[in-house]
Amino acid sequence: MPLPPAWLDDVRPSPYADQLALGFRLLRFSRPLEQEYRDYLRDDTFELKRIALVVGILVWLAFAGFDFVLISGPEVWWMLAIRLAVLLLLCVFGVLLIQAKHTHLLQPLTLVSLLALGAAASLVVGIAHRVDPSYPYEGLLLVCMAAYFLAGLRLLEALACSLLVLLVYIAVELFVAQLPSTRLINNALFLLFGNLMGAVGCYLLEFKSREHFLISRLMRVLADHDSLTGLHNRRSFNRHFERLWRQAQREKRCLGLLLCDIDHFKAYNDHYGHQAGDNVLHRVGSVLHEAARRPLDMAVRLGGEEFAVLLYDISDQEALQRAEALRLALQNLKIEHAGSKTASVLTMSIGVACIQPDQVDALAKLYEHADRALYEAKAFGRNQVVA
């Protein structure tokens, strides 16, 4: 396996970067990422499934017309009955696609539809060969190609579906049409090699799809997160706050904001150097990340040595307790700070504010109150929490 790109070392820790570095030649991610990719694939191929369904119905109807032209006698009615049954199944699938409901069933329904198409096409070919051995069987290859390229299936799903269709075809030709063995072997080999080419193409498509998924997710992380600390950045914070504020209005919850400032950080940089300062910011980022572990909370680096923690559904007293715990967590790291006028170790000052969801200009007011509290915390000696 070739060495991973060097730039991946600059974006870790990230599950997307780790997976890119490890590779996925077997078309498999780690378990959490694999489920995320399948959800992404389901949503991403939704429109593709609609197009594939329309194309499939049109081709299916066209072949029904050819049956009338190529086959005569009672057999043609059996062939048309089979085609009608599958057409009804495709229409039911189409209704679900139009309604965009039960999306978790799209993948199994796609497999069922393709298997029904393949099995029905095999039966139609077998019935036709009882009357006319020259009836074209190559249409089965279209079903296989649809599984590989049009239906949005993963390689293993497409491969299993296509091979099952091939086995059904061989069984029908043996027991229904009783096709001569030499002719059957020729037809089976043609379909088998067609499947082989489809599988290679499908493998390359899925590999690129997985690679695109990882890179796009990684780019989104980089766009929304601070590269040094791994915390969310200001742009991500503003976007998240808008969503959270609307939710707080609906659910009548309070939002809390902790504005944090590392005490005498410029003096730390001057005394220990900027490399040591970056290391400290990274450790502070880890402390803040632990303070925002609930699903709707968010830890943010606003810039320089300024940080924030946005808390959902929290009272004034609880916000004060969380802020004090955060202040102590940094102090207990006992990071030496010889240039500090406040303490011998690295400390932070925190301003706390909570606000009700029925007020206007929410972000501005919440930030203003927290900023005023932070100013007071710094003015009255630093290394303290003020609300």
The Cα 175–Cα 120 span in angstroms is 15
Decide: 30 and 19 in contact? Cβ < 8 Å.
Answer: yes
Domains of the chain from N-terminus onward: 6-222 (no CATH), 234-386 (3.30.70.270)
Residues involved in catalysis: 305
Size (the chain), residues:
387
The Cα 345–Cα 130 span in angstroms is 90
Q: Is the CA virtual torsion 161, 163, 165, 168 positive or negative? A: negative
Decide: 113 and 146 in contact? Cβ < 8 Å.
Answer: no
Q: 373-384 burial, b if ≥16 CB within 10 A, otherwise e?
A: bbeebbeeebbb
The Cα 92–Cα 330 span in angstroms is 60
Residue 107, pLDDT score: 86
Q: 283-303 burial, b if ≥16 CB within 10 A, otherwise e?
A: ebbbbbbebbeeebbbbbbbe
pLDDT tens-digit profile, the chain (387 residues): 454 565 566 565 688 888 988 889 999 999 999 999 999 998 888 888 888 899 999 999 999 998 888 888 888 999 999 999 999 999 998 888 887 777 778 888 899 999 999 999 999 999 999 888 889 998 899 999 999 998 889 999 999 999 999 999 999 999 988 888 899 999 999 999 999 999 999 999 999 999 999 999 988 888 888 878 888 998 888 888 888 888 888 888 889 999 999 999 999 999 999 999 999 999 999 999 988 888 889 999 998 899 999 999 999 999 999 999 999 999 999 999 998 888 999 999 999 999 877 656 666 788 889 999 999 999 999 999 998
Residue 298, pLDDT score: 92
Q: Any residues with CB less than 8 A from the CB of 90 and at least 6 apart, and which?
A: 53, 56, 57, 60, 113, 117
Strand 385-386 to strand 348-355: parallel, antiparallel, or no bridges (unpaired)?
parallel
| Strand (E) or helix (H) holding 114 | helix 106-131
Q: Any residues with CB less than 8 A from the CB of 311 and at least 6 apart, and which?
A: 255, 256, 257, 258, 292, 294, 297, 319, 322
The Cα 202–Cα 146 span in angstroms is 11
- Picking from 65, 150, 165, the residue whose alpha carbon sits closest to that of residue 116 is 165
Residue 362, pLDDT score: 67
